[in-house]
Structure formats: structure tokens, C-alpha cells
Amino acid sequence: MRSNNKDKERKSFRAIEKQFQEFQAKIGIQFENEKLLKQAFTHSSYVNEHRRKPYEDNERLEFLGDAVLELTVSKFLYLKYPMMSEGELTKLRAAVVCEPSLVTFANALSFGELILLGKGEELTGGRSRPALLADVFEAFIGALYLDKGLDRVVGFLEKVVFPKIDSGAFSHVMDFKSQLQELVQRDGAGSIEYKILQEKGPAHNREFVSTVSLNALELGTGTGRSKKEAEQHAAQMALEVLKNHIK
């Protein structure tokens, strides 16, 4: 019986090793210290069930990863949005590093499949629990920072997180109209005007198209589920145009 248990453990260990090798190949990063990588995915319930073996859970790495994420995301936002106030930057960063966002990033790379869980946690759906997935993402960032340094963390975020910001996934917490107004007033460039060009679709699924002009020169067009959202997207485009012109 003891021999059968050992055989099962060996098979389980080999399966875990294979999973982590495939994961590293998938993300294009090979860890120097693979113990760090495994620790990032090790839940405390797994450690509790394997007390005779030197496993360590991911809670300390989570603490470190949280700080590294805040720093790297803060720098990205600071450089990308030079017209944003401190309060707006704080609000946007909070949206990027909040639990639902971290869960989205983790799910995009199938982090849940790699988590080492205790049997009880597994049976109660821990593998897909949002808080657990968010913690694992932070722990992975912490492990990557220790193993490869800050530049490699930024390189990873440039593939997984920053494109989401660029695509407007967090535009609901950003006030582009205020930024545009501030930029124009600062430079004394003239007056801004928004126009709703089009309303289409049924009442329950309306779509609006807006333009924004500076001194009658159209700078951006945006669409949205409301007039306000369409204007915000038009202002976002106008800001990009003006920033490129300033460069």
C-alpha cells in the first residue's frame, strides 16, 4: 500500500513538473530558480497537507508582487498620461490592480490550472476562486521580480497588462474630456466643441457616435453606449493626436 502511494506521488510530481515546464515555454520565460515559480502557485492548503516536505506557500511572494505591480503600473501610467492629475492616476491604477482585473490577467494565461491546492480547497472550487487567482498573479510577479529583475517584469506586463490599458479596457474610470480641456486651456489653443453625429441601434442597445473639434478642426471620433461615453472616446483620440503633435 505504501509503495502504491509512493508511485502515485511520483506520477503527480512528474505531472506537476511537466505543467510548469510547459507554462514557462508558453510565456517565453525560463526561471533560474524554479522553486520560486512553484512557490508562487502554492496555496497554504497544499502546504498544510504536505507538512513532511519543505513546501512554502505564496503569501510572502504575494506581498512583494503587490508592491512591484504598484510601482511598474504607476510608472507606465505616469509616462502614458502626462495630463492626468495625481488623483486620476491613483484611481486608474486602482482599477488596473484591483482583484477583478488581476483575475482577468490570471485567467488569460490559465493560472488556475497550475495552482497547487489542498484536497479540501480543490473540492470547494478554490482553483477558480477570484481572491485566490488574484493572489497567485501577484505572487507570480513577486517571483519573476526576484528571479529576473524589474525589467523582465515590465516585459511581461507589456504583453499581458499594458495592452489592456492601451485598448481602453479601463476608460470607464478615466476622464479624457477633463484632460483635453486642461491641455487646451493650458496652451491657450482655443475652444473645444463636441457633436453627436449619429445615434443607431434599438433603444435597449443604443450606440452613439461623437466628434470633438478644436477651433472647428476635427481631432477625434468616438463611439459609446451613451453620449457621454462617445464623447470620452472622442476626447481620448484627440489627446493622442495633440500629444503626437506636441512631440
pLDDT tens for each residue of 115-166 = 999 888 888 887 889 999 999 999 999 999 999 999 999 999 999 999 999 8
Task: Kindly give the pairing relationship between strand 217-224 and strand 207-214.
Answer: antiparallel
Predicted model pTM: 0.76
- Single-letter residue type at 184: V
Look up residue 39 and give its three cell numbers: 512557490
> If you ran DSSP here, which 8-state letter would residue 52 be given?
T
| The predicted structure's pLDDT at residue 52 | 66
In 3D space, the residue among 154, 114, 155, 132 whose CA is nearest the CA of residue 44 turns out to be: 132
Banded model confidence at residue 171, pLDDT cuts 50, 70, 90? confident
Catalytic positions, written as ranges = 66, 138
239-247: list long-range contacts, CB under 8 Å, 24+ apart.
Answer: 239/83, 239/176, 239/179, 239/180, 239/183, 242/180, 242/183, 243/82
Task: List, as own/partner pairs, every contact residues 128-131 make where C-beta atoms lie below 8 angstroms and the sequence separation is at least 24, other chains included.
Answer: 130/99, 130/100, 130/103, 131/99
Classified as helix, coil or strand, 193 is: strand
Task: Spell out where the chain has E strands.
Answer: 192-200, 207-214, 217-224
Looking at residue 53, its pLDDT comes to 67
Which residue reads 476622464 in cell numbers? 175
Question: What residues does each domain of the chain span?
Answer: 2-171, 176-246
CATH number of this structure's domain 176-246, picked from the four choices 3.100.10.10, 3.30.160.20, 3.40.50.1010, 2.40.37.10: 3.30.160.20
CATH for 2-171, among 2.40.50.140, 1.10.1520.10, 3.40.50.620, 3.40.640.10? 1.10.1520.10
Burial class (CB in 10 A: 0-12, 13-18, 19+), 4: exposed
The per-residue pLDDT for 16 is: 84
pLDDT digits 0-9 by tens, 48-86 = 887 766 778 999 999 999 999 999 999 999 998 887 889
Contact 16, 117 (CB under 8 A): no
> Phi/psi zone of residue 198: left (φ > 0), alpha (ψ -120 to 50 degrees), beta?
beta
If phi > 0 it is left, if psi is from -120 to 50 it is alpha, else beta; for residue 155 that is alpha
Res. 1: pLDDT tops 50 = no
